[in-house]
Amino acid sequence: MGWITTHVLDTANGTPAVGMRVTLTRLDGTPKLICDILTNADGRCDKPVLDRDAYVAGSYELMFYVGEYFRRVGPKRPDPPFLEQVPIRFGVSEDAHYHVPLLVSPYAYSTYRGS
């Protein structure tokens, strides 16, 4: 079965985003929170945000709590921040590994389907 993983890189500081809160919600039907986790020292999650046992094709949203993260790591930013949360909505249709990384700074972000 497929599975979903993520990691976060802090492009402003050139480091992994350690301790960033990430949630995964399944969007089909009534939205359902699947995972609420913090990134580790490598900016990755210690386990998949959706493992093989829970894998179902459909629409999902990863929410990255970047405002909380940048307030913690500094330097001081404007309040309210330009980016508070970064939602990435995506679909999974294959029985495969979906890796959805986030590259983020206080003012910009990008993502892609990784491997």
Where in the sequence is the domain holding 74, given as residue range(s)?
Answer: 3-111
Question: What is the model's pTM?
Answer: 0.95
The pLDDT of residue 1 is above 80: no
Q: What is the pLDDT of residues 32-63, one digit of tens each?
A: 999 999 999 999 999 999 999 999 999 999 99
CATH code at position 28: 2.60.40.180
Please state, in angstroms and as integers, the Cα–Cα distance from residue 89 to each residue in 14, 60, 97, 104, 109, following that order.
25, 6, 16, 16, 14
The pLDDT of residue 20 is above 80: yes
pLDDT tier for residue 76 given thresholds of 50, 70 and 90: confident
Parallel/antiparallel/unpaired status of strands 58-64 and 97-99: unpaired
